[in-house]
Structure 1
Amino acid sequence: MNKNLPLAGIRVLDLSRYLPGPFCTQILADFGAEVIKVEDPGTGDLGRHLPPLIAGESARFYTVNRNKKSITLDLRKEEAKEIFKKLTAVSDVVVDQFRPGVMDRLGLGYEELKKINPKLIYCAITGYGLSGPWRDMAGHDLNYLNLAGVTLLNGTKDSLPALCGVQIADIAGGTLYAVIGILMALIHRQKTGEGQLCDIAMLDGSVSLLAYTFGEWAGEGEVPRRGDGLLTGGYACYNVYETKDGQYVSVGAIEEKFWAQFCQKVGRPQYIEQQYRPEMQSEMIADLRNIMRTKTKQEWVDFFAEDDICFTPVLNLEEVSEHPQVKAREMIIKLANFKESGKDVILPGIPIKLSTTPGEVKPSFPALGEHNDEVLSSVGYSREQIRKFREDKVV
């Protein structure tokens, strides 16, 4: 472990599964934290088994679980609970993604664990939070976005509400806010010596993403409608257009100077003054759709190559992986012929670029329970005790 990384020396016990929590702890691991996945014996993180599989485990698992350790504990057994408490005593952060109350019923909730380690930072990532009438409800990314009002804003005027292509509530509402909360709690602890509980609800995070939309609602005096706003497809200057070859390009020319240059270039200077006239949008959009269908995507890219007007092609993932800007920023990492499977594992790079202490991608992925002996011995258990734990299926 690089001791110069900003989170070197921070130990995280990660109880989370699937996406929100594991992605959170991966970010912490990239910047030096020791992350110990605490998994169920036999099955482990259910995210290990999501198809498609590469080399026997989920391709998705690899994208959010690099550079971690794995131990197995059956937390229903008293011996496992004692092991977890011992680990908590020498750890800095616990990340929990169970429904509210699960860890309390096990006797391992925050109120109990802080008696063992008052400096502990306990981050609970849940769908609806630790309070409120929906605290115990089940949910997934779609449900949180539905209740936040995001789904109804996705899509065109004439379409059904559209599902998002990525898990916005899980990642933006859960993963990223959990990282922020943990880091702020670490700073507070550095100042005061006190740990605390971080209550991260994916619904809360999703609602907060509507900040600019709330401004539109307040300013216009009516609830924004799908496909009707400046940033949601209702205006010609900020839209997606189909090209001759069935591909797509986009124009994001909100500023007048960009829009003017675009209009001049496509031979529609009369649209310059009509940029923000609501009654002209349908006509302009229809006309520009016809114009954009006269060239292929690449021809339009070449046509606007010298123009700084917020014009971009709409790329598929393979094109993204080969884009020079993405490659220059090392934002997609390919592990060729991973474990001689004949398939490449594709990982996200590190989006936080620190000049002095940049994060490190270490493409190692823990086998289930791989670090049982190492971690248990580090808190004083003998070989004989660990062997007995295995016999009794505690680990």
Structure 2
Amino acid sequence: MPGALSGLKILDFTTLLPGPYATMFFSDLGADVLKVASASRPDIGEHSKPFLPGTDVSASVAYLGRNKRCMTLNLKDPRSAEVIHRLITLQGYDIVIEQFRPGVMAKLNLGYEQLRKIKPDLIYCSLTGYGQSGPMTDRAGHDINYIARSGIASYSGKRGEVPPLLAMQVADVAAGSCNAVIGILASVIYRRESGQGQYIDVSMTDGMMAFNTFLGASFLTDGKVPRPEDNFVNGGSLYDYYETGDGEYLSFGGLEPQFSRNFFIAVGRPDLISGGVTPPELSKVKEEIREILKSKSRDEWMQIFDSTDACVEPVLNLEELERDKLANAREMIVRVPAADGRMVKQLANPIKFSKTKPEYRFTGGKPSAGIDTRAVMAELGYSEDEILNFTDTGLFD
């Protein structure tokens, strides 16, 4: 059965993580994604180790490029605009996602206002750090900057300590990629209802600001600025990570009374039940809990908590995750065919469908190699002589 998003045709002008992760979602679910890359200015992800054995293809690129075709174009060459126009008018690509600084695509004659003239119902998504309007449109940034400016870092971590670094790019992926996917799919539905396309402005900093959720709503109501360790989930309760006797860690998230009660019984402290997760002497109780949890190894504690409904889970490393019963039962690691026929292990698409299951047809290749360039150009009606001429004159650089 075709994927849930089969029929969508997307031109992908993105690099690094936010855009490529978003378009991988589309390609996993059946959309036709054509990545347009540069041969002369490769994505820095292409140089990220490790590489697939015996190849020069980065494992991260093989993952993010999954199920996508890729061609190279020198977008500064005016002939590139003609190629993109043909992809839209002749091949039916009617969704564009790009990740350049504001105004760059317009200078290349590939901006929304220019492309909508040839495709009025075009859906066009721009994904940037600070958005298309406001005082910071041209400012460079990365994940840590968007998190910092959003306010979230100010009340994360421990009181008196440096805000903690996150080991994954939450602004790039959760605030950027996911909002781009949501925005594009919402626009697809709108187009089907109205016949009209639209422009989508996704700012990763905007997305992080929205992630203030409960604390943001509270501050806008009472004006109280949240600080580290002053609420339930940032250290102001027993909700936290705890070291075990073998130097590993457990997480405890039992905010509700029934879960905290089970937790206290399991650790041999039923006398603490009445105080819940915010006991009157929090620091003292927390230190007592820390010492108790250091009396056994992580796995010994999990033998207890696996049969106790207390919202306790182990902190796993990726080697443990690969063997984990949940990850395997949920089929979160899949094998995907590489170009040479070998099967490569990758993380699966996390959404489960009863009918239109994600497909894992092939791993991504090196974008700057543009392995599908000649085929795409031929599909657009260019002759072999024209393609050779374009190659010799730098159109594909």
TM-score, normalised with respect to structure 1: 0.93
122, 139, 143: which one aligns with 1:137 = 139
Q: Which amino acid aligns with 2:291?
A: N
Name the CA distance, whole Å, in 2 between partners of 1:346 and 1:145.
31
In structure 1, the residue matched to 2:365 is: 366
Answer yes or no: is 1:36 the counterpart of 2:39. Answer: no
Name the CA distance, whole Å, in 1 between partners of 2:324 and 2:218.
34
In structure 1, the residue matched to 2:164 is: 162
Answer yes or no: is 1:97 the counterpart of 2:99. Answer: yes
14, 17, 20: which one aligns with 1:16 = 14
Name the CA distance, whole Å, in 2 between partners of 1:189 and 1:204.
25
In structure 2, the residue matched to 1:148 is: 150
In structure 2, the residue matched to 1:87 is: 87
Q: For each residue in 1:59-112, what CA deviation from the matched residue of structure 2 results, as whole angstroms up to 9, or x when unmatched?
A: 221221101111111111111221112113221211100000000111110000
In structure 2, the residue matched to 1:51 is: 49
Name the CA distance, whole Å, in 2 between partners of 1:27 and 1:16.
14
Q: Which amino acid aligns with 1:13?
A: L
Name the CA distance, whole Å, in 1 between partners of 2:165 and 2:344.
26
Q: Residues 274 and 220 of structure 1: is their aligned pair in 2 closer, same or farther, counting only changes over 3 Å?
A: farther
1:122 deviation in Å?
0.6
In structure 2, the residue matched to 1:64 is: 64
In structure 1, the residue matched to 2:115 is: 113
Name the CA distance, whole Å, in 2 between partners of 1:129 and 1:348.
30
TM-score, normalised with respect to structure 2: 0.93
Name the CA distance, whole Å, in 2 between partners of 1:274 and 1:107.
64
1:334 deviation in Å?
5.3
Name the CA distance, whole Å, in 2 between partners of 1:393 and 1:337.
29
Q: Residues 149 and 20 of structure 1: is their aligned pair in 2 closer, same or farther, counting only changes over 3 Å?
A: same
Q: Which amino acid aligns with 1:173?
A: A
Q: Is the 8 A contact 2:11 2:97 kept in 1?
A: yes
Q: Which moved more, 1:122-131 or 1:36-45?
A: 36-45
1:216 deviation in Å?
4.3
Q: Which amino acid aligns with 1:370?
A: I
In structure 1, the residue matched to 2:190 is: 188
1:41 deviation in Å?
2.4
In structure 2, the residue matched to 1:76 is: 76
Q: For each residue in 1:196-240, what CA deviation from the matched residue of structure 2 results, as whole angstroms up to 9, or x when unmatched?
A: 11110000111111112224435775211123320112211x111
Answer yes or no: is 1:271 the counterpart of 2:269. Answer: no
1:278 deviation in Å?
5.7
1:340 deviation in Å?
10
1:156 deviation in Å?
1.9
Q: Root-mean-square deviation (CA), in Å?
A: 2.1
Question: What is the SS of the residue equivalent to 2:224?
Answer: coil
Name the CA distance, whole Å, in 2 between partners of 1:209 and 1:360.
31
Q: Is the 8 A contact 2:337 2:361 kept in 1?
A: no
Q: Is the 8 A contact 1:47 1:61 kept in 2?
A: yes
Structure number with higher relative contact order (C-alpha < 8 Å, ≥ 6 residues apart): 2
1:277 deviation in Å?
4.4
Q: For each residue in 1:110-162, what CA deviation from the matched residue of structure 2 results, as whole angstroms up to 9, or x when unmatched?
A: 00000011111111000000000111111000000000012223322242111
Name the CA distance, whole Å, in 1 between partners of 2:23 and 2:278.
47
Q: Which amino acid aligns with 2:260?
A: W
Name the CA distance, whole Å, in 2 between partners of 1:132 and 1:175.
21
In structure 2, the residue matched to 1:175 is: 177
Name the CA distance, whole Å, in 1 between partners of 2:252 and 2:324.
18
Name the CA distance, whole Å, in 2 between partners of 1:215 and 1:122.
31
Q: Residues 40 and 132 of structure 1: is their aligned pair in 2 closer, same or farther, counting only changes over 3 Å?
A: same
Q: Which amino acid aligns with 1:154?
A: S
Q: Which moved more, 1:283-292 or 1:348-357?
A: 348-357
In structure 2, the residue matched to 1:127 is: 129
Q: Is the 8 A contact 1:145 1:151 kept in 2?
A: yes
Q: For each residue in 1:3-59, what CA deviation from the matched residue of structure 2 results, as whole angstroms up to 9, or x when unmatched?
A: x21221221110100100001111000111111110112444332222343321222
In structure 1, the residue matched to 2:347 is: 348
Q: For each residue in 1:246-271, what CA deviation from the matched residue of structure 2 results, as whole angstroms up to 9, or x when unmatched?
A: 00011111110111111122221221
Name the CA distance, whole Å, in 1 between partners of 2:81 and 2:147.
35
Q: Is the 8 A contact 2:11 2:96 kept in 1?
A: yes
Q: Which amino acid aligns with 1:379?
A: L
Name the CA distance, whole Å, in 2 between partners of 1:362 and 1:336.
7
Q: Is the 8 A contact 1:14 1:94 kept in 2?
A: yes
Q: Is the 8 A contact 1:41 1:393 kept in 2?
A: no
Q: Is the 8 A contact 1:110 1:122 kept in 2?
A: yes
Runs of 4+ in structure 1 off by over 4 angstroms are: 218-221, 334-341
Q: Which amino acid aligns with 1:319?
A: E
1:352 deviation in Å?
1.2
Q: Residues 356 and 166 of structure 1: is their aligned pair in 2 closer, same or farther, counting only changes over 3 Å?
A: same
Q: Which amino acid aligns with 1:130?
A: Q
Question: What is the SS of the residue equivalent to 2:326?
Answer: helix
Q: For each residue in 1:321-373, what CA deviation from the matched residue of structure 2 results, as whole angstroms up to 9, or x when unmatched?
A: 111111111112356999699xx954221111121212112233234211112
1:189 deviation in Å?
0.8
Aligned residues: percent identity?
38
Q: Is the 8 A contact 2:336 2:361 kept in 1?
A: no
Q: Which moved more, 1:50-59 or 1:331-340?
A: 331-340
Name the CA distance, whole Å, in 2 between partners of 1:384 and 1:336.
33
